Amino acid sequence: MGPHPAVAAIRLAVRRVLHDILTDHEALQTVGASRHTPHERPPSPLVLVACSGGADSMALASALAFEAPKLGIRAGGITVDHGLQAGSDLRADEVVLRLRELGLDPVEATAVTVGREGGPEAAARDARYAALDACAARHGAAAVLLGHTRDDQAETVLLGLARGSGIRSLSGMAAVSGADGRYRRPFLQLDRQTARKACMVQSLPVWDDPHNADPAYTRSRLRHEGLPALEKALGKGVVEALARTAQLSRDDADALDTWASQAEASVRDATGLLECAKLYALPPAVRRRVLRRAAIQAGAPAGSLFARHIEEVDRLITGWRGQGAINLPGKVVAQRQGGRLVIRQG
């Protein structure tokens, strides 16, 4: 008799991702083979799981511990103590023990200081990823697994829709992201209930973060009020439909980004300045991407560059009435000069 269907589902999802990681690792090793002597075997890759102690990441940790040894992959874990609740350090120590009990090694807890920039959720996320990056670099990890589920993806799409910042914000979280594809999300096609069920049947202790039920947090309100209301009004398939929207949007956004990067060279003159007439001839979605890329290249921080900024710059092309320079984040200025668009730091 095989494992419970929920356990089988999480293991299969992790196995597929580990195969991808192994393929990428072997390709890198082939490129760097000249560094090894003929008798020296390249080290097996290390994959870390980021674990909060919640159901999603505990299920992920258990599946990694089960599947990694079969493929000759070393499996470790990290938990991040955000210091936002009393006793969070003790909670982190408990998670470390649980990961070690699963057979993961190395395992560590790392404490971070959460700032205030961008709101509490964004600040905690920034601190967490900085800690994960540092840990992965320190251990030479090939990848870090994250436990985001299809439900998390649906929430991310709705949050992006509410921001109104275009198709990229509707594409949700990528299955592979970060520097050199460091972050992998095996559970984006699985629902939260499957992960919780897998923990239950394996008798894995689970910690439910009170922040996930705190109405002070936007994502929490969406999870406990917004999505249930949508499901009540539209039916139970909302989460799956939103996750599917994310994938379709990502494919479209990737295609438009590729088009924009190819178009950029064709709209610059011999001196490298953007020609307004050639920009005008591009489809709006492509033109705005070219403008955004140009602003970032000039020094505008990508995270502070919003759709409204790009729309203002776009009007220098499509609604030219002799208007003055446009101020962008990062002290970048965009202005039209004699049929050319100049974007530079002021």
pTM listed for this prediction: 0.86
CA distances from 270 to 247, 265, 267 (A): 38, 10, 10
Instruction: Give tens-digit pLDDT for 21-50.
Output: 999 888 877 766 555 555 566 678 999 999
Ranked by mean pLDDT, the top range of 27-31, 163-167, 187-191 is 187-191
Reference 127, options 166, 76, 88; nearest CA is 88
Reference 217, options 82, 55, 26; nearest CA is 82
Reference 9, options 43, 52, 56; nearest CA is 56
The structure tokens listed for 13 are: 């999802």
Alpha-carbon distance 68 to 45, whole Å?
A: 10
- Residue 28 pLDDT: 78
Q: Within 13 Å of residue 27, how many CA atoms lie on the same side as its CB?
A: 8
Q: Is the dihedral of CA 79, 83, 84, 89 positive or negative?
A: positive
The structure tokens listed for 337 are: 């000069």
Share of the chain above pLDDT 70, in %: 95
CB 176 within 8 A of CB 143: no
Alpha-carbon distance 29 to 42, whole Å?
A: 7
